[in-house]
Amino acid sequence: MTTDQITPEQKAVSSFFPGFWDSHGWGFGVSIVTRRDDLAATPGRYGWDGGYGTSWYVDPSEELIGILMTQRLWDASGAPVVLLDFWTSAYGAIDD
């Protein structure tokens, strides 16, 4: 289940991160990107960012698998800069 399984009604009443459902959905235990909102967020990409600095995603359209393991706790409302830099660099390195 690598497609969004959450209905619009469920998203409307969810108390998950504010704005999360604007560009994400939920499959079988993984986040699903449903709308592009940055360089690395391609629709169909699935995976998860962990609260202790890990991140993994699979992007079937780009044939890309990425895993980042850090010891950087999420201490603010957004992702640590290292996560954003890693994914931006990974997608920026793809030569179409």
Tens of pLDDT, residue by residue over 24-64, are 898 888 989 999 887 788 899 999 888 888 899 999 999 99
CA distance 84 to 13: 28
Question: Are the C-beta atoms of residues 74 and 51 closer than 8 Å to each other?
Answer: yes
pTM, two decimal places: 0.79
Residue 2 lies in a domain: no
Domain that holds residue 20: 8-92
Residue 48 lies in a domain: yes
pLDDT of residue 38: 79
Residue 30 lies in a domain: yes
Q: Which residues pair with 81 in a beta bridge?
A: none
pLDDT band of 96, cuts 50, 70, 90: low
Kindly give, in sequence order, each residue whose CB lies less than 8 Å from that of residue 87, ignoring residues fewer than 6 positions away.
39, 40, 55, 57, 66, 68
Phi, psi of 54 (to 5 degrees): -90, 155
Q: How many domains does the chain have?
A: 1
Instruction: Read off the DSSP letter of residue 2.
Output: -
Residue 3 lies in a domain: no
